[in-house]
Amino acid sequence: MISNIFSNVTLDLVVQSDTVVFHGNQDSASSKLLFGKVILKVAKKTKISSLRVVASGVTQFWFAENSIAQYSVSTSGRDVYHSEKTQVLNKTEILLDGKEKRIYLEPNTYEYSFIIKNCGNLPESVYTTYGSTEYSLKAILETSSYLPSITKQIPIYIGRIPYSGPPTFMPDDGPNDILKKFEEKLSVKLNTPSKYYSENQTIDLVADISLMNPNIKILSVGARINENPQLTERNSKFLDSSEFGFEMTLPQAYKNIQHDIETDVFSTSHQIHFDIDIEIDGTSEKLRTSLPLLVVPNEYFSEMLSLPKYSPKTETADFELLPPVYSV
């Protein structure tokens, strides 16, 4: 009986884009709108109690550290666990409300559009060993008080194109280089054609090595991309480092690499580490230098050339906004 009732209605959730990208830092970025719709396919006349969409976001972290005795500088063997969970987004849009007035849907396909307003101060999506900030959008259909709800949930990703604010809209892109001298041994100049890269992009790294000592023999050189997510609690920093090999190509999938961010809870930065193994007078030595790298959302490359110049955030009067046309 219950399975027959469930087969009467199928639910789908569609959004224009599952990624929301803010322009500017958390205290200056304007709100962005998320357009979507819920599709109901009704096979048999059905009573509807409610249809709603819930946008939610949670920041949580956890870590352990050694406890310190109250009257001693010694460290005990018992770990102290820290954890915190904060709701950063919780919005509900009611699309159908059958509590005050009964709603019956005849066999047909129904579409209900919605708009979720996301404030510009939302923290970016991030996933690390010590915690995460993750968002989701969930459609909930209730048909009867004695039946479970019919739901559909999809992940939503929050990104940010950073800039320094007025009067500079965005730091100028261009060659990224650094010169490092190792005492009387050698100097190395690293260069990439851009300061900004996004997922699945290949980085062309050029290394110019100049020997200062003719007795130095270069054994090997290598480069790798390093990601440093940090969780800051009180005055301590807990570091999680992941290396992506020597291909110099950034990973594509979300959670395999993070964007450069700086929030109240998480901070993520990237570097290109360059290693040189040398031999001097029969002694081997490893030299290392780093070149900073900014990993930004893909929208940086698709939007920045067409965006207007910076203008301060202003509050405008309420007006009706219509969602864009969809194709299913």
Boundary (domain end) residue, out of 108, 130, 161:
161
Q: Point out which residues pair with 15 in neighbouring strands.
A: 36
Q: How many domains does the chain have?
A: 2
% of the chain residues with pLDDT over 90: 26
- For residue 186, what are the domain limits? 176-303
- b vs e for 261-293, b when ≥16 Cβ sit within 10 Å of the residue's Cβ? bebebbbbbbebebebebeeeeeeeebebebeb
Model confidence at 203: pLDDT above 90: no
Higher pLDDT, 305 or 150: 150
Over the stretch 31-62, which tens digit does the pLDDT of each residue have?
Answer: 999 999 999 999 999 889 999 999 999 998 87
Split at pLDDT 50, 70, 90, the class of 183 is: confident
Q: Are residues 157 and 285 in the same domain?
A: no
Q: What integer is the mean pLDDT of 239-245?
A: 41
Model confidence at 233: pLDDT above 80: no
Boundary (domain end) residue, out of 161, 195, 226:
161
Structural domain includes residue 317: no
Model confidence at 221: pLDDT above 60: yes
* Residue 229, H or E segment: strand 216-233
Distance, in Å, from the CA atom of 63 to the CA atom of 265, rounded to the nearest integer, reads 13
Higher pLDDT, 321 or 328: 321
Structural domain includes residue 315: no
Q: Are residues 22 and 142 in the same domain?
A: yes
Model confidence at 243: pLDDT above 50: no
Distance, in Å, from the CA atom of 231 to the CA atom of 242, rounded to the nearest integer, reads 15
Of 142, 135, 56, residue with least CA distance to 91: 56
Q: Are residues 97 and 18 in the same domain?
A: yes
